[in-house]
């Protein structure tokens, strides 16, 4: 870090004197008193033309430095380099997204600060969802670690890499609670639970933003998609979210509020409507709740053309109407449509949008730029040397490996088949075992694909010369090919044990990748049956961006691991667990159903009037074909130990209104291997004025248990843990009895009860 004063630093970086006047005005005011910085922004706003204001509210994808995966529809807005440079000089662009590279960013920033009417710096954004060049596990996988410190550290490392390539702002974390596994974007979130999701939202915001947003390695966070995008009907992307406001507030909004409380200064309005009002034109969401109730001081950016989509929604008549509805609702920045540039000046002139509304949006944008330190130093995070030194460091790769292994969930391990011996004869079979392109996983926009460690490489490295590794692809992800099955069967027959890697390809989850059937594609099931028919023991390693419905040999295999998409170090992370060098610690952040048709399926559903408590199937809430249970419940994950839980105990039968009750249970490892256990606390409100979830996660704790060790785990329960969103749209607890479980998953545990007294 340089200690030069900001003005001198800017001069050295080639900023013109004229631009420095504008920049220095802000700097000087700030030096006098913090409050004065706002005055300077006011000065700036008072001098800007309406065209320049519209420009400050218009964000575009970067056609000049795009070098990653295609993740948005190609659009008419895709411009040439000359056009973009001219628009920057004219002050018609507030920032660019999804381009990386410091040299190009510096060139554009120079134009912005030296040639645009008021020298306002650009902000550079990007979809840094689970790492940049180093890819970490997809967010859903990482949520399976139940380890928020890990999420903090991977977000911090992602921020270091992202800022090294010239980004200031990430469109992450996605904090949408998703209860339908058909939705492809499950992969980007923290799963089906609001409590867990809120914890991960906070950790990721803190990790991205660091201790001060002005730091060179700090990345502005953008919790998205506001709101209820995870509630799209039928799990179909972009569909309507037709939910009551109590569900919106109890289930979908808390992770956002937690993220904003943690200091996130931007959010993205969702594509979907909520009960008929599209989020991007939703004044109640973007202004009344977000700003009014929560006091959010940051900016709202639309999701890619979602303001334009108000027309297709049938909520706005045309582009001008959509622009007015979006900005009047509280959407400050238009992403990619160009509508604000096109229509705002006239809308202000004809009085449809007030200048005060535009000014307020510009104020929010400028304050965020100020918070990022861009007025002090427009070239922050645009240093050529960090681009070389801060990418894929040994430390970051070690973190990716650690994150990968902590995200793996041991679903099943009959007869203690796992861990495997490194000197065994292993047949490693599956469509992706050495396909590098599949390894960064969904929503990795800028990954270093060539250096991703495949399963084949990871197994080879772990086994060295000790054992024998035979590899066969067997099938493609979604089709068979001549000789594939035969080759796989031969490999299986020549082995002691088969490791079968099957599931979804990276492209099968993520945006617009909703599925009607969440089982493993037919071709791979055929492969699984053929391999199982050899009679060799089979370890299934699942690849997936959502929970899957497991059938046939994929379900009956004696050992199954959920390995998601783990990113750069996948092969090493998986080998660490498969060969027992590390204890598995992952827990499911999503329920695995027995069949796709159970979706939306989530553990914390409301109690029905006819619950199926026994095998009894008559006139009960269940389907003809399967019981109303998960195949693998939320929170489930085995260890290599042998874990048992004692009964849940409370230290008092009654919880006073402002008091606490201690809740504890013993947890023992009777096995011969060390175990890492994630001890979970669930509650259920027996009688309430609105029906409540059958169980709700309220806490969790990580413990390490040596063979033969027993520990007592204690949680402290307060009234605030027992609150729910009432019909009055306030969180409140109601006196009465509550069931409490300390348990290894959302199913199981021996409950106690406590009475909340007023
Ligand atoms: C659309 C996605 O919904 C959003 O999450 C993403 O940040 C934008 N595209 C920008 O790429």
Domain match, 300 and 211 both: yes
Residue 614 forms part of a structural domain:
no
State in Å: Cα 172 to ligand 1 middle.
9
Domain match, 332 and 227 both: yes
pLDDT tens figures, 291-316: 999 999 999 999 999 999 999 999 99
pLDDT tens figures, 75-134: 544 578 999 999 999 999 999 999 999 999 999 999 999 999 999 999 999 999 999 999
pLDDT tens figures, 249-272: 999 999 999 999 999 999 999 999
CA of 98, closest atom in ligand 1: 11
Under a CB-based contact definition with an 8 Å cutoff, are residues 636 and 745 in contact?
yes
Domain match, 583 and 685 both: no
Residue 296 forms part of a structural domain:
yes
Distances (CA, A) of 294 to 58, 206, 254, 290: 25, 19, 11, 5
Residue 173 forms part of a structural domain:
yes
CATH number, domain of 518, equals: 3.40.50.1700
CA of 127, closest atom in ligand 1: 7
The helix (H) or strand (E) run that includes residue 741 is strand 736-743
- Indicate the residue among 577, 598, 619 that finishes a domain: 598
Closest CA to 440 of 216, 101, 127, 228: 127
The confidence band for 366, taking pLDDT boundaries of 50, 70 and 90, is: very high
pLDDT tens figures, 437-464: 999 999 999 999 999 999 999 999 999 9
Domain match, 415 and 338 both: no
Residue 702 forms part of a structural domain:
yes
CATH number, domain of 710, equals: 2.60.40.10
Domain match, 196 and 324 both: yes
Domain match, 322 and 405 both: no
Domain match, 432 and 502 both: yes
Domain match, 669 and 557 both: no
Q: CA geometry: angle at 295 spanning 32 and 271, to 5°?
A: 120
Q: Is the pLDDT of residue 21 over 90?
A: no
Question: What does the mean pLDDT of the chain come to?
Answer: 93
pLDDT tens figures, 525-557: 999 999 999 999 999 999 999 999 999 999 999
* Domain boundaries, position 683: 643-757
State in Å: Cα 126 to ligand 1 middle.
9
Under a CB-based contact definition with an 8 Å cutoff, are residues 369 and 345 in contact?
no
Considering the candidates 193, 237, 303, 435, report the single residue annotated as catalytic: 303
pLDDT score recorded for residue 79: 79
CATH number, domain of 321, equals: 3.20.20.300
Residue 60 forms part of a structural domain:
no
The confidence band for 289, taking pLDDT boundaries of 50, 70 and 90, is: very high
CA of 222, closest atom in ligand 1: 7
The mean pLDDT value for 191-204 works out to 98
Domain match, 450 and 414 both: yes
- Indicate the residue among 562, 580, 598 that finishes a domain: 598
Domain match, 436 and 511 both: yes
Q: Does 318 qualify as catalytic in the annotation? A: no
State in Å: Cα 90 to ligand 1 middle.
26
pLDDT tens figures, 60-76: 999 888 766 777 886 54
Residue 619 forms part of a structural domain:
no
Residue 139 forms part of a structural domain:
yes
Give the pair of three-digit tokens for residue 391: 């990418």
pLDDT score recorded for residue 704: 98
The mean pLDDT value for 510-539 works out to 98
Under a CB-based contact definition with an 8 Å cutoff, are residues 16 and 114 in contact?
yes
The confidence band for 616, taking pLDDT boundaries of 50, 70 and 90, is: low
State in Å: Cα 374 to ligand 1 middle.
24
Domain match, 372 and 405 both: no
Q: What is the best residue among 238, 304, 306, 334 to mutate for testing ligand 1's pocket, by most ligand atoms within 8 Å of CB? A: 304
Closest CA to 226 of 277, 286, 169: 286
The mean pLDDT value for 626-630 works out to 91
Q: Is the pLDDT of residue 729 over 70?
A: yes
Q: Is the pLDDT of residue 574 over 50?
A: yes
Burial call 515-532: b when 16+ CB within 10 Å, e when fewer? beebbbbebbbbbbebbb
Under a CB-based contact definition with an 8 Å cutoff, are residues 172 and 189 in contact?
no
Domain match, 369 and 415 both: no
pLDDT tens figures, 658-688: 999 999 999 999 999 999 999 999 999 999 9
pTM for this prediction: 0.95
Number of domains in the chain: 3
pLDDT tens figures, 83-98: 999 999 999 999 999 9
């Amino acid at each position: 870090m340089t200690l030069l004063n900001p003005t001198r630093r800017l001069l050295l970086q080639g900023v013109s004197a004229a631009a420095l006047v504008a920049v220095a005005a802000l700097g000087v005011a700030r030096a006098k008193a913090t409050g004065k910085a706002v005055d300077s922004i006011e000065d700036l706003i008072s001098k800007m033309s309406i065209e320049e204001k519209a420009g400050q509210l218009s964000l575009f994808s970067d056609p000049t430095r795009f070098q990653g995966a295609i993740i948005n529809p190609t659009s008419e807005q895709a411009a040439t380099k000359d056009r973009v440079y001219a628009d920057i000089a004219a002050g018609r662009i507030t920032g660019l997204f999804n381009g990386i590279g410091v040299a190009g960013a510096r060139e554009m920033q120079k134009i912005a600060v030296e040639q645009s009417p008021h020298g306002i710096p650009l902000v550079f954004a990007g979809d840094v969802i689970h790492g940049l060049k180093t890819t970490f596990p997809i967010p859903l996988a990482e949520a399976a670690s139940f380890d928020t410190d890990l999420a903090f550290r991977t977000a911090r490392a992602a921020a270091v890499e992202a800022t090294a390539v010239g980004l200031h702002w990430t469109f992450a974390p996605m904090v949408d609670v998703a209860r339908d596994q058909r939705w492809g974007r499950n992969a980007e979130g923290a799963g089906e639970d609001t409590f867990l999701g809120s914890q991960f939202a906070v950790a990721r915001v803190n990790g991205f933003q660091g201790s001060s947003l002005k730091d060179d390695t700090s990345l502005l966070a953008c919790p998205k998609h506001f709101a209820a995008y995870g509630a799209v009907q039928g799990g179909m992307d972009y569909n309507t979210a037709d939910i009551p406001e109590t569900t919106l507030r109890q289930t979908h909004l808390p992770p956002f509020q937690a993220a904003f409380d943690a200091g996130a200064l931007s959010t993205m309005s969702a594509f979907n409507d909520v009960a008929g009002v599209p989020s991007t034109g939703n004044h109640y969401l973007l202004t009344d709740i977000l700003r009014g109730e929560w006091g959010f001081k940051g900016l709202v950016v639309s999701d890619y053309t979602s303001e334009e989509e108000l027309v297709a929604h049938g909520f706005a008549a045309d582009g001008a109407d959509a622009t007015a509805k979006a900005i009047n609702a509280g959407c400050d920045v238009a992403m990619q449509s160009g509508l604000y540039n096109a229509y705002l000046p006239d809308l202000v002139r004809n009085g449809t949008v007030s200048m005060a509304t535009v000014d307020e949006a510009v104020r929010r944008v400028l304050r965020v730029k100020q918070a990022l330190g861009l007025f002090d130093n427009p070239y922050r995070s645009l240093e050529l040397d960090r681009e070389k030194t801060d990418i894929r460091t040994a430390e970051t790769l070690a973190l990716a490996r650690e994150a990968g292994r902590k995200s793996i969930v041991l679903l099943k391990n009959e007869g203690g088949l796992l861990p495997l011996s490194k000197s065994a004869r292993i047949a490693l079979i599956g469509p992706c075992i050495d396909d590098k392109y599949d390894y960064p996983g969904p929503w990795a926009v800028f990954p270093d694909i060539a250096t991703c460690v495949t399963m084949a490489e990871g197994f080879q490295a772990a086994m060295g010369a000790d054992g024998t590794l035979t590899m066969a692809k067997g099938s493609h992800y979604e089709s068979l090919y001549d000789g594939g099955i035969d080759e796989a069967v031969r490999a299986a027959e020549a082995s002691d044990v088969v490791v079968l890697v099957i599931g979804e390809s990276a492209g099968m989850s993520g945006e617009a990748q909703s599925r009607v059937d969440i089982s493993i594609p037919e071709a791979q099931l055929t492969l699984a049956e053929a391999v199982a028919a050899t009679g060799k023991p089979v370890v299934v390693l699942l690849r997936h961006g959502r929970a899957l419905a497991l059938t046939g040999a994929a379900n009956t295999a004696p050992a199954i691991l959920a390995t998601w998409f783990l990113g750069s170090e996948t092969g090493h992370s998986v080998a660490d667990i498969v060969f027992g060098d590390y204890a598995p610690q992952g827990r499911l952040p999503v329920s695995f159903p027995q069949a796709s048709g159970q979706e939306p399926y989530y553990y914390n559903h409301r109690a029905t009037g006819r619950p199926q408590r026994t095998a009894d199937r008559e006139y009960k809430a269940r389907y003809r074909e399967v019981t109303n249970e998960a195949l693998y419940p939320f929170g489930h994950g085995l260890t290599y130990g042998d874990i048992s839980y004692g009964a849940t105990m409370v230290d008092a039968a009654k919880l006073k209104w402002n008091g606490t009750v201690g809740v504890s249970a013993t947890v023992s490892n009777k096995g011969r291997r060390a175990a890492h256990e994630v001890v979970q606390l669930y509650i259920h409100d027996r009688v309430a004025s609105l029906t409540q979830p059958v169980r709700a996660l309220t806490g969790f704790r990580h413990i390490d248990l040596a063979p033969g060790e027993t520990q007592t785990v204690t949680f402290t329960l307060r009234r605030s843990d027992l609150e729910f969103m009432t019909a009055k749209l306030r969180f409140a607890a109601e006196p009465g009895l509550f069931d409490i479980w300390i348990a290894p998953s959302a199913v199981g545990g021996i409950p106690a009860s406590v009475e909340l007294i007023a």
